[in-house]
Structure 1
Amino acid sequence: MIDVAVQVETPWPEGDWEALGIRAVEAAIAATPHAELATTPELVEISVRLTSDGEVHGLNRQYRGKDKPTNVLSFPMVQPDLIDTVSRNGDDGELLLGDIVLAHGVCAREAEEKGVALEAHATHLIVHGLLHLLGYDHQGSAEAEHMESLERDVMARLSLHDPYNRDEPEFDARRFE
């Protein structure tokens, strides 16, 4: 069973961010070989934190040595190659998969540049972050292509835009109303 804890902080606007986070995480997990995490009797916990650029800037500097904000950070709690073999990493039958943190200002600017709603771009970034928690990366060309393919697939399953297609018509924000 998946438990997605969504924490929304200023300056994120009001909205049903919890439902959006749950939907993005569940769709991303379902598109991977780790789909069984959704049906395991153990609790699989994922934290999604929507916060400010300043907060993400500090985390990026502290944990990645990059002195700037970024759109999304992922903090895995389990080594990716152990996800399938570790039944739990806590004393109470829970699998703490990790944390995903999004920066509002960066996300809002990118959404505007892409011509998509903030909710759609945040969905994509949560999917992207979740894939990182599962061990996917985009350091090499082949890895990047595979991860982007998964992201495109998940976004299509959610009836959302292709995050890597700049020619796609503008996103219909009414899907989130």
Structure 2
Amino acid sequence: MTIDVIMEDDRWQQIGLDALALRAANATLAHLGLDPQAAEACLMACDDTRIATLNADFRGKPQPTNVLSWPAEERGAEEDGDTPLPPSDPELGDIAIAWETCAREAADQGKPMADHVTHLIVHGLLHLLGYDHQRDRDVTLMEALEVEILGKLGLPDPYRE
């Protein structure tokens, strides 16, 4: 997969974000039976100030969040729990992640930062591919996929207490 990482905050270099993002993206696409070589996305690695502005502009929520995503096309399933439509364009969309929020969440959950960020990249990519967590069965489907993908990467279930 081609994943263009835009490093707005140099702290992201500490965890080797370029390689981490590529690994997470390839694992996600392969798990879904999609050709990783036929897809591209952009990942903006920013700080809380920048993501709070994006969150306000696009979601009307003027506070930082861990990850945001903007799919290039609507792929969501009409029925709760159904698989989204496959991509018709190699450009999947854009993802933004915020350093301070990710670091705080990782520390609060007792997880390595790289593991938490890998989960958030997988989560963001699933959003780009039409998965969501607004309806009950969609939540179950998306979380199960995240657990399976992370498991293949040797990471623990992020939803287990």
- Give TM-score, length-normalised by structure 1: 0.80
Checking the alignment, whether the CA contact within 8 Å between 2:75 and 2:87 is kept in structure 1 is: no
Percent of matched pairs sharing the same residue: 40
User: Any idea what SS the aligned residue of 1:68 has?
Assistant: coil
Unaligned runs of 5+ residues in structure 2 are: 77-83
Per-residue deviation, 1:83: 6.0
Deviation string 1:111-133 (CA, Å, 9 cap, x unpaired) is 01111111110000000000000
User: Any idea what SS the aligned residue of 2:20 has?
Assistant: helix
Aligned to 2:8: 9
2:151 paired with 1:164: no
Per-residue deviation, 1:45: 1.4
Checking the alignment, whether the CA contact within 8 Å between 2:133 and 2:139 is kept in structure 1 is: yes
- Letter of the 1:23 counterpart: R
Deviation string 1:16-58 (CA, Å, 9 cap, x unpaired) is 21110000011111222xx233254xxx211111110010000
User: Any idea what SS the aligned residue of 1:46 has?
Assistant: strand
Aligned length: 153
User: Any idea what SS the aligned residue of 1:36 has?
Assistant: coil
Aligned to 1:23: 23
Per-residue deviation, 1:13: 4.6
Aligned to 1:128: 123
Aligned to 2:79: none
Checking the alignment, whether the CA contact within 8 Å between 2:70 and 2:94 is kept in structure 1 is: yes
- Letter of the 2:4 counterpart: A
Relative to structure 1, the CA distance from residue 73 to residue 105 in structure 2 (aligned partners, 3 Å threshold; closer, same or farther) is: same
Aligned to 1:138: 133
User: Any idea what SS the aligned residue of 1:80 has?
Assistant: coil
Correspondent of 2:103 among 100, 104, 108: 108
Relative to structure 1, the CA distance from residue 83 to residue 5 in structure 2 (aligned partners, 3 Å threshold; closer, same or farther) is: farther
Aligned to 2:34: 36
Runs ≥4 in structure 1, deviation > 3 angstroms?
81-85
Per-residue deviation, 1:9: 2.6
Per-residue deviation, 1:78: 1.8
- Give TM-score, length-normalised by structure 2: 0.88
Pair member with larger Rg: 1
Structure 1 CA distance for aligned equivalents of residues 158 and 60 of structure 2: 27
Structure 1 CA distance for aligned equivalents of residues 158 and 131 of structure 2: 17
Checking the alignment, whether the CA contact within 8 Å between 2:67 and 2:124 is kept in structure 1 is: yes
